[in-house]
Amino acid sequence: MKPFKTLLVAASLVALFSTSAFAQTNKEIVVAGMKGLFITRDASVIDKYWSPDYVQHNPMVPNGSAVLKGFVSNFGPDFKYEPGMVVAEGDLVMMHGRYTGIGPKAMIGVDIFRLANGKIVEHWDILQEEVVKTVSGNLMFSNPQK
């Protein structure tokens, strides 16, 4: 192969493997972050996936990713997080989930994240107690990923 063709092939391979082939999508970042934080309780995911100046819209939680590290050590033995549906559109990701062990009833939530430069930079959530018996007979939470 001529040197110029070899150089073009090598440059193409570098471009292919250094961009999208190894980059995580926003959806993958949120899922890995939430599972790491709430399921494996690994505080190292906070530095990996959250921006230090993360903006929090939950009225009970202050801004900044440092506060999340305290969550990991404060989870009781009965705490459990079950991820559900995940929807991503551009820089926004929404994740449906069930939180148990934080009160007398399970909480069903939708966490909404905004990402920039591969980090979670903003968060909103909506939580409500899980109702087991519904008028429709449909559950409030199901995990389509199982």
What pLDDT, in 10s, does the model give residues 48-97? 999 999 999 999 899 999 999 888 888 889 999 999 999 999 999 999 99
Element (H, E) at 128: strand 119-129
Is the residue at 142 inside a domain?
A: no
- Structure tokens, 17: 């493997």
- By residue range, what is the domain housing residue 34? 24-129
Give the per-residue pLDDT at 55.
97
Split into its structural domains, the chain has a count of 1
Q: What is the DSSP string of 5-29?
A: HHHHHHHHHHHHHHTTTTPPPHHHH
CB 81 within 8 A of CB 88: no
Is the residue at 140 inside a domain?
A: no
Is the residue at 134 inside a domain?
A: no
Is the residue at 13 inside a domain?
A: no
- pLDDT grade for 44, boundaries at 50, 70 and 90: very high
CATH number, residue 32:
3.10.450.50
Closest alpha carbon to 29 in 77, 97, 86? 86
- Structure tokens, 44: 């190292």
pLDDT in tens, 89-135: 999 999 999 999 988 999 999 999 999 999 999 999 999 999 988 88
- pLDDT grade for 137, boundaries at 50, 70 and 90: confident
Give the per-residue pLDDT at 7.
47
